[in-house]
Structure 1
Amino acid sequence: IILNKLTPQKFPELMKQVSELTIDTEERLKGAIDLISEKAILEPNFSVAYANMCRGLMGLKVPSADKPGKTANFLYLLLNRCQKEFEKDQDDDEIFEKKQKELEADEERERLRVELENARVIARRRSLGNIKFVGELFKLKMLTEAIMHACVVKLLKNHDDKSLECLCRLLSTIGKDLDFEKAKPQMDEYFNQMNKIIKEKMTSSRIRFMLQDVLDLRKNSWVPRRGDQGPKTIDQIHKEAELEEHQEQIKVHQQLLSKKERSHTPGGGPNSQPQDDGCGNTVPISKDRPIDTNRLYKIIKVSKASDVNESTGVWRSWEKGCSGGTEAKPASRQDHFDRSGRVDGREGSPITKRSFSRESQERGGRSGESAPTPPPSLPKPSLSEEEMEKKSKAIIDEYLHITDLKEALQCVAELNSASMLYVFVRQGLESTLERSTTVREHLGLLLHQLVKVGTLPTEQYYKGLHEILEVTEDMAIDIPYMWLYLAELITPMLHEGGIPMGQLFREISKPLVPLGKAGVLLAQILQLLCKGMTPKKVGDLWIEAGLNWNDFLPEDKDVNKFVTEQKVEFTTGEELGPKEVVKKQLLSGEELSKQLDRLLQDKADNKHIMDWVEANLDEEQAASNHFVRSLMASVCGIAIICEHPYKAIAEQIMVRAELLQKYLNDEEKELQALYALQAMMVHMEEPANLLCMFFDTLYDEDIIKEEAFYKWETSKDPAEQTGRGVVLKSVTAFFTWLREPEEESDKE
């Protein structure tokens, strides 16, 4: 029922209803996937929406029906479903071939022929619908380039009409995303084969024309001749109708003026030359009548607003406009389709200005008269504050829902409105101020990264922040913990690559000093910083920045009393006395793993993680086997791509080499780290080659030495024997390679 109501206008509301459904068993999860996939296949015009719906559900996990203690993953089941549908096409062809032979020997030939033809039409539609859906899933980074290349190779090999039609549909959908510099040789090979099929007439003329269209599309930098033909929101339809009405009024008005001028100019002349109105309509225009550029600007603005990629926030997020225009590779996932294939942003069509027809220019030139001067080129209208708010809200909502930092950064960069980014900052702060701590921290991290990469100018950050800080007096009445909430949003900006403490504190205090509240906010930020590093380090940062509490507190405020009440004595340079030292609470294994996972998922740098360890664990805890195992499990867990087969991203380990080397500082700790990896492999039911991938990287990056590997291999520790036999067997190749130099030297 929910899917039957799907329209662009209702997507957010319906997505919310889907996410609220009780999907708590594998059977229900498979049922939901089947329903969404079937709708996507049968309604390809809505495949963008169904793909976005899948993205919203991709984190869904339920208990496995076949494997007690394990979970069934939405994404994995969805990929299985798409793969089966893709492979089913070949089986259908064999069935149709068999039926064709039966048809030739059957008496009821006509009836069977009609049935067979209908079955072929249905199968063709399903194939095209599925390939379109697969393409949209790839654009949302739910499938890998490897899978897409495998699909292209398989479709090219078949050479039948249905496969080639699917190929054209697939490349039209994702060609631009695959066609970047590194993959260019492979793409060239595909298009050479397609060109060969066209030249040698190896298929029907209909398919050859389709192939030629794809070739032309690539030559045109993947800019289609026609815009998106998918479903539109009611607002878009209204805007397009308004634009058409404007154009019709202009046309009628110009025709009336032309008639009037002809009545005063016998025989016509240059003043009555036909002109092109830019919409394919030839209409007369007067040379003497000045062009109303203000009105033309409004019309262009309306036209721009009706474009799918520049409309309301929800529809833009459907189209993934924020992901286009870049050649960045999607996050790698292991090939889940056909491994036979080799593995190795979106601009609108330019507006052609046709102010005067060629005929008019030629006549003017022959008569010796100067051609009418074309209207001045109009600047691209910048986003209004209202439009910026809508787009900002869409980006922020999507980011907080899926926490894809890389994509959010790209979306903000593509707004291409640096002078309006204060609206984005303000919208982000307003929409998250009263939500959870986690949400506020994520928004703070996004703003920090935007400043770090240079997308968000610091003056725009301050401007958006000031608009919130200036009304804090009124907000505090309804939000009792407002200063803490603001601190959670601002503190990430002090991470490495953000804004220096001195500059940030002085700037954010400007609107608060007159209110007497600057000190309260700064104290909250400093206390939060102490959760990530020691109070002494925070105090050193304060002193190095040359900050003084007298600059932030009212004149009648007792500084010493304030510092004591707020527990920020470390800012005065005083050492904590023995009585003031608070014993750090011992974290359980689960709590420790959770905190480390959070830091790694938020892409905290190694220094930040080390500061957190120093601030939250005493020396004994930080040197314990328990901590070493938790750290190793968290770092390696983040590096695993949970598909079938599993894969380890070596780069994720490499960037954490410094962190691991600091805490794996002797052979015993290295051995404990290997035990942690062993336990992880047993828990995951010994995925093929995964442990070998980890061992290779840990050895290459000098994180774990040979001696520790050999000690682990021969270990007889009774506590570490569970599943050990299978795990040892899985790394036979690694140890064979490790011993090769020794064997060669012995022979010498």
Structure 2
Amino acid sequence: MLQFIRDTDKYCDSTCITDVKSSYILNSISLYCSLLLIMVQVVCSNVEEHSAKMMAELNRMKQEKDHCDFIIQVGNYVYHAHKNVLSAGSDYFKAILKHGTKESREGKVVFRDVDFECVKNCVDFIYSGKLEISDKKTNDLLHVAIMMQLEDLVEAFRRLVKTKEEICNDELIILSDDGKCTGDVELKTAASAWKPIKRDTSSKLSQEELDTLGIMRGIGVILHKITRSTFKDVMNEVLALKIDTERKLRGTVNLIFEKAIDKPNFSEVYANMCRQMTHIRVTAEESSDQQDATGPVEFRKLILTRCQKEFERDDSDRGHLLELKKKMESNTDQELAPQLKVEYDTAKFKDRRRTLGNIRFIGELFKVRMLTEPIMHNCIMTLFKAKDDDHLESLCHLLTTIGKDLDHPKAKERMDQYFSHIQKIIDEKRTSSRVRLLLQDVNNLRTNNWVPHAIQTQGPKTFGQIRQDAKNEQEMLQQKLASTPNPIQKQVAVRKKNRMGNRVGHEDGWTKVQTVKPVLFDRSKMKMQCTTLVNVRHDNIRELGAQPRGQSMSALKARQNEPSKRYRLEMDLTQLLNKGLTNSDIFDWVVKNLTTKESVGPDFIRALTISVCRRSLKIDPKNGDKMTVVEDKITERSILLNKYIENRQDRELQVLYALQNLMVELGQPRDVLRMLFDVFYNEDVVQEQTFYNWEKSEDPNEQEGRRVAVASVNMFFTWLRTADPESDGD
């Protein structure tokens, strides 16, 4: 085209034909662009045909297992495919094949708990863009599509699914890659959809009812977070609530009662809460079932009435249990029998738990003087008269709770009658062995002056109690260590005794050395012993890294002065951390200077741990130059530690050994190891089981400073063993 324009210039040099020249050039350029546009359109059409042809060829190669470099295994079945195609069609495969994962290295991925046909169909969809589905395996196909992150296929399912089990009238449907479906899918709207009360414009609740719901919601939140340590602050919130109507008061009583019997370990807390609320009383409503509708409704009366009704429940009040039992006995379907039995056992367990929780709550209310002693004796007699296992078990729980308060001199005769009757029930052996053992435990408890066994739990402890127990245990351990003679002092005493010889003391203070008969040594034996000692000495030198005979002394000294591999790693990592490099920079340094095996070896793990911990230690001059731990410096490097530890217990154990050696090097500073344990546990660098493994470790190579280290973290292990999930809110 350019050459054509140059040739035109030769014949259009004169000024008179300049316009002709310009018009000719423009027409030529327009013709050339038209031809070029046609060529582009032809090329684009060929690209689409070429892409379809390539995908068809790749699909054929997959079916014939030609040039396949990846295996998908589901159970005993395997399916061959190509890495590039899988990565291009699925974000899931792109993620596992992009990085140096195990699946990428081995060229194989294993799927569990999925259907092989569904996996095969989803892979075929990646190659062809088409999928045939029926209603039989719709849920399985959708599960695999979501797992492989096939967004087009999931979107197609979303358009097709009317309900969870109906897919386009159970017809066989062919999906294209655009996910279109023949027929419109109509979504069903629930007639009574849930809406928040504040946004539900159709709700006709009055302002008083909305206030009542707000009070109930506040009481529920308070009951969820109340503990022994937060009792005072939470009670101030309860007393600040405006409980001024009978409906609010009854709702509050119901919430407290249900929470108390559902969590019997916190019955003491809820009983004290009720004690603080006994002064609450409101005016009775006109529709109240109170005998005296004009009198006030008291919190104390309502809560005690609820306890009494629950205590006096009989079989007629357990209609759901009777119905389930009758249904189980009349059932003839063998396949349905196990399910009915599970439902009945579950309902019976919940009912039993509810009964025992109420018994425990009644006992705690008596201990805070909300119930009188005669009422308690009436409850005990009622439980004795029933004579069945459930009531006798309730009797054991009640006596365990209030037995110490009832067993005073004035009631000794009655208590003796109770326990003589208990012994009679044990001797008759008409109850189950479990109940007899419970009765025997109560009998032993009274014999022991109502002091529970050491291992018996007395409800959840506060953090202050846990710290005090740990402190007492640590003091006992220190006293025990102080009373135990130091091994070094013991060796010195033995050596001193050996130097003194077998000297016999006399009354005048003088000692006389006993005469020892001289021993004659054989010269040949002495020569053999000297040769053995020389050989042993040479073997020890070889173990220490000395060069074989024949090398120079300078080479031997250079070998002895060479720093260890762990020390070199520690120095290098410390320099990197001192420079303030990011975690990514340190990752790059490790990849460049260490092999994969070395980056997860014990030397590197210990060196990295010590380097990070050294950076976090500082001297606090305000606290008497006490060494403390800056937790933020370890937190910002926790990603670096987790990168190479990978929650492997063997590597986590190396971390704890490194901390133990660091404490020995620093002279066992007080509380530093415990603070480091806290940070490593909170940042999930070391798992709980690994701490226990370190505590019980008997590795002879890791005994230096071990006894002192274990004693210094005794409080940490006490907290680890006794921490209750219910007290996390503390």
Q: Same fold (TM over 0.5)?
A: no
State the structure with bigger RCO (CA 8 A, min sep 6), 1 or 2: 1
TM-score normalised by L of structure 1: 0.34
> TM-score w.r.t. structure 2 length?
0.35
Structure with higher Rg: it is 2
